[in-house]
Amino acid sequence: MTGKERVLMTLNHKMADRVPWVPFAGVHAASLIGKNATEALTDGDVLFDSLMEVKKLYAPDGMPVIFDLQIEAEILGCELLWADKGPPSVASHPLEDTTKLPCDCTQPAPDKGRLPMVTDVMKRMSAEVGEDTALYGLICGPFTLASHLRGNNLFMDMILNEEYVNSLMEFTTTTALKMIDMYIDAGMDVIAVVDPLVSQISPEHFESMCHESFKTIFDYIKAKGKASSFFVCGNATRQIEVMCKTDPDSISIDENVVMKDAKEITDKYNITIGGNIPLTTLMLHGTQQENMKFVVNMIDELSNDNLIIAPGCDMPFNVPAENTIGVAQAVRETDKVRTMVENYEAPKEDIYVELPDYDNLDKPLVEVFTLDSATCAACTYMMGAMNVAGDEYGKKIELVEYKFTEKENIARCVKMGVTNLPCVYINGKLQWSSIIPSKEELFKVIDGLL
């Protein structure tokens, strides 16, 4: 079963061979190829290359092409403040001082703003990986887009000028439908409507002023034969039920919502739920072991039907690649990783490992530590890169792989202080972690030791 089949089957509420994995690598993708967020969000080639790196390292079943909720706002006249390590922020709200509606002539069209670049990358991704990977087209939700246009006054309008909010929501709903047309034409399999601000209004306000818009959007996606998702951020505990009533195929939540409780509600409506690996405390600041453990616990604790494993929201730029690799492995090989985590936490004292005398080696020693090069994509590439050196240098170097699936190797990792996999130690010193070196870089290091 391909990743794409797995995601689409799950969004169609059927049990796949395992739980799908959808990393939300937005700006983070750029970090994998040494570029900044602005470069990836404005230059199609950089965006494409960074996405291909995500595909290679994280082996996703599904993935977003671009995670930027400001694409529509920019076209509609909001000024943006760009950042190196995050998506841009909206810096001005064209409707801040007026309760007029924007002209329909400002609505997004294929030639406006960054859409030519975005749809081109979508088409390239669809051609390159669309066969086996479900591609997500992310649009800005109508409520958050309304707030981009109107600023914080929108919240007061909800109480003082409901009629205006309804008209503005009608406008932003039209925007959403136009975006959906363009993204589906560009080859997207799933349309995700990302509306973080929904968590900031009462369920009653959602029903009176937002329900209609979201229902229209999800019905439209369904009518076009594609799957849908409703992404929210923040503590949306009280909004989950009213979100379900708008009929999306899935809902995605972050760590502010308790997954188990939310899933009880989404299960009642037969809606798939995705989430909710903590972004900052775990993905950004946690260890690989902690990330793997969290995901194994999640899979063990929740019923595996109607479930997608994903980060809580757009991953922070600086998430260490090894943490995401660990998550991917925990989803793909849950049983093996459960055992790995157990063995790492309680290493068997009866396993004695003798480390080489690194200061007195006969020849350069390349030690590759992997989660399992047979099943972990990043590990496969790392081992593959080192095998190229093995072929090139033959007996001039010693090359050895330690798979984390063996207890002895876990004991070795603990003794050596290896925490992130895959990684390469040369002569006992950490040389590369997660990011696979180019052939030139690798040979240069080895040549320096011969």
Binding site for another protein (CB under 8 A): 81, 83-86, 89-91, 152, 155-156, 158-160, 200-202, 205, 234-235, 237-238, 279-281, 284, 316-318
The amino acid sitting at 72 is E
Structural contact between residues 157 and 165, judged by C-beta atoms closer than 8 angstroms? yes
CB 202, min distance to another protein, A? 5
Retrieve residue 381's tokens: 């590439």
Structural contact between residues 427 and 358, judged by C-beta atoms closer than 8 angstroms? yes
The amino acid sitting at 327 is V
Residue whose CB is less far from another protein, 314 or 401: 314
Residue whose CB is less far from another protein, 77 or 86: 86
SS3 201: coil
Residue whose CB is less far from another protein, 24 or 48: 24
What are the start-end ranges of the H helices in 83-152? 115-129, 142-150
Residue whose CB is less far from another protein, 97 or 300: 97
Nearest-angstrom CA–CA distance, 297 and 240: 23
Residue whose CB is less far from another protein, 42 or 237: 237
Nearest-angstrom CA–CA distance, 99 and 95: 7
What are the start-end ranges of the H helices in 302-431? 321-332, 334-345, 377-393, 407-416
CB 45, min distance to another protein, A? 24
Torsion of the alpha carbons at 243, 315, 383 and 20, rounded to the nearest 10: 0
Long-range CB pairs of 358-362, under 8 A, 24+ apart, other chains included: 358/427, 358/428, 358/429, 361/398, 361/427
Retrieve residue 411's tokens: 């004991």
CB 150, min distance to another protein, A? 13
Retrieve residue 356's tokens: 């080489």
CB 326, min distance to another protein, A? 19
Residue whose CB is less far from another protein, 156 or 388: 156
CB 134, min distance to another protein, A? 27
Residue whose CB is less far from another protein, 59 or 233: 233
Q: HEC string of 394-431?
A: HHHCEEEEEECCCHHHHHHHHHHCCCCCCEEEECCEEE
Residue whose CB is less far from another protein, 83 or 101: 83
CB 287, min distance to another protein, A? 15
Angle at CA of residue 30, ends 422 and 69, nearest 5°? 125
Residue whose CB is less far from another protein, 62 or 196: 196
Residue whose CB is less far from another protein, 184 or 279: 279
CB 81, min distance to another protein, A? 6
* C-alpha to C-alpha distances, 62 to 2, 5, 86, 220, 254, nearest whole angstrom: 10, 10, 22, 21, 18
CB 85, min distance to another protein, A? 4
Nearest-angstrom CA–CA distance, 291 and 328: 10
CB 234, min distance to another protein, A? 7
CB 200, min distance to another protein, A? 4
In the beta sheet, which residues pair with residue 250? Answer: 229, 272
